[in-house]
Amino acid sequence: MSSDPGTPSHFPVKMRPEILALPAYKQGSAAPTGFKLSSNENPFDPLPGVLEAVDAATRQLHRYPNAAAPEITARLAKEWGVETDEVIVAAGSVALLVQFALAAAGHGDEVVYSWRSFEVYPWMTVLPGATAVPVPNTPDHRHDLVAMAAAVTDRTRLVIVNSPNNPTSTIVTKAEFETFMGAVPDDLLVILDEAYAEFITDPDAVNGRELVRRYPNLVILRTFSKAYGLAGLRIGYGIGPAPILGAARTTIMPLSLTDHAQVAAIASLDRSAELQERVANIAARREVVWQALLEQGWDVPRPHGNFVWFPTGERTAEALEVFRAHDIIARAYLPDGVRLTIGEEESVENVLAAAEEIARLIG
């Protein structure tokens, strides 16, 4: 039994109470049958050339990976028109989020983000012992960037902006983001998490590509997990000022980025035409689903990622059950709503039948 006042008395060893109180990260449900639309994954197979590249890397499994990732780093630097020290690559953008939090925020420091947003933000804030400052979304499920800027204090060390926002699929506009960056101190780290950027079709949306080298305190995060369909391999990257990325390099989990992920990312970047085609396909399906939902009477915010948000509120658990009865595994965010990924074409009929039933049920 522990006698440490910070550790619960039933706990066998002394540990950090804030970690013991933290729920572990919960993945979207798997689907033994039906359509798994709970994790914002890509329904397409890996792009041509990816499996061959991964297969070749598998022959070197007895070796540690080259975690410095020189080839994919150089390739991304070229794609983004920056130097290699302005690129950071890691085993998923989640890993990068944790690295930046560890590098920037400690005990007594604050991390500001919009809420509801990506579940990792509160979790990654607690890890280094910092304090979360969630700022409620607007009634139309968007970031309230004015309130987020107002929430910044001299203890704030990191602000995260997520566009499109997971799980509400709403965007921040270019103009909103510019005003926000003008309102926060330029020695405060801002992360623009654009995990779903490739699915955006609205020209007014903020776009990290246009912001490269614009601000001394901005890091843009992207991932190969969503549009590129490499979720299972774990690779994401950041673009930003070299000194900030250098600090985040020191907090990496050593050797966690595999060679498989690196070669698969390069092979995927070689197939940009096919990627564009797939992304356009998913974006078009998203529009069809959204329009049909509006016709059913849903007040669903216009989706910009590869997912749709149903603001089902207190009826969320029931809504999830109806989706399940229609062979759709969705993701519930109690007590706010349901997030549903745009998946296989064959799933659309079931999604719309379930949505219609839920609309009738909850009026």
Binding site for ligand PLP (CB under 6 A): 40, 92-94, 118, 162, 166, 193, 195, 223, 225, 231, 236
The CA-to-CA distance between both ends of the chain, in Å, stands at: 52
CA-to-CA dists, residue 83 to 79, 99, 197, 245, angstroms: 10, 20, 22, 12
User: Got the DSSP string for 150-215?
Assistant: HT--TTEEEEEEESSPTTT----BHHHHHHHHHHS-TTSEEEEE-TTGGG---TTB--GGGTTTT-
Measured CA to CA, the distance from residue 71 to residue 69 in angstroms comes to: 6
Q: Which is nearer to ligand PLP, 40 or 312 (CB)?
A: 40
Nearer to ligand PLP by Cβ, of 167 and 311: the residue is 167
272 DSSP β-pair partners: none
263: closest CA among 8, 80, 9, 69? 69
State how far the Cα of 323 lies from the Cα of 28, in Å rounded to an integer: 14
**Sheet (strand 131-136) strand order:** 87-90, 236-239, 218-223, 189-193, 156-162, 110-115, 131-136
Q: Shortest approach of ligand PLP to residue 2 CB, angstroms?
A: 34
Q: Work out how close the CB of 169 gets to ligand PLP at its nearest, in angstroms, rounded to a whole number.
A: 10
Nearest to ligand PLP of 308, 358 (CB atom): 308
Question: Closer CB to ligand PLP, residue 229 or residue 236?
Answer: 236
Residue number, nearest CB to ligand PLP: 92
Phi/psi region, residue 297 (left: phi>0; alpha: psi -120 to 50; beta: rest), is: left
Select 162 or 207, whichever has its Cβ closest to ligand PLP.
162
Q: Residue 177 and residue 171: Cα distance in Å, rounded?
A: 10
Tell me the closest approach of the beta carbon of residue 196 to ligand PLP, in angstroms.
Answer: 7
Q: What are phi and psi of 73, to 5 degrees?
A: -65, -45
Least CB distance to ligand PLP at residue 114 (A): 11
Q: Which is closer to ligand PLP, CB of 164 or CB of 311?
A: 164
Helix (H), strand (E) at residue 302: none
Cβ closest to ligand PLP, residue 17 vs residue 134? 134
Write down the least CB distance from residue 115 to ligand PLP, Å. Answer: 13
Nearer to ligand PLP, 195 or 206 (CB): 195
Q: Residue 167 — φ and ψ, nearest 5°?
A: -105, 10
Q: How far is the CB of 98 from ligand PLP (least distance, A)?
A: 10
**How far apart are CB 342 and ligand PLP at their closest, in Å?**
14
Q: For ligand PLP, which is the closer residue by CB, 4 or 45? A: 45
Nearest distance, CB of residue 87 and ligand PLP, angstroms: 15
Nearer to ligand PLP among residue 128 and residue 164 (C-beta): 164
Closest to 229 (Cα-Cα) out of 34, 36, 47: 47
> Least distance (Å) from ligand PLP to the CB of residue 309?
13
Shortest Å distance, C-beta 13 to ligand PLP: 30
The CA distance from 359 to 363, in Å, is: 6
- CA–CA separation, 239 and 79 (whole Å): 11
Pairwise CA distance, residues 45 & 179, whole Å: 40
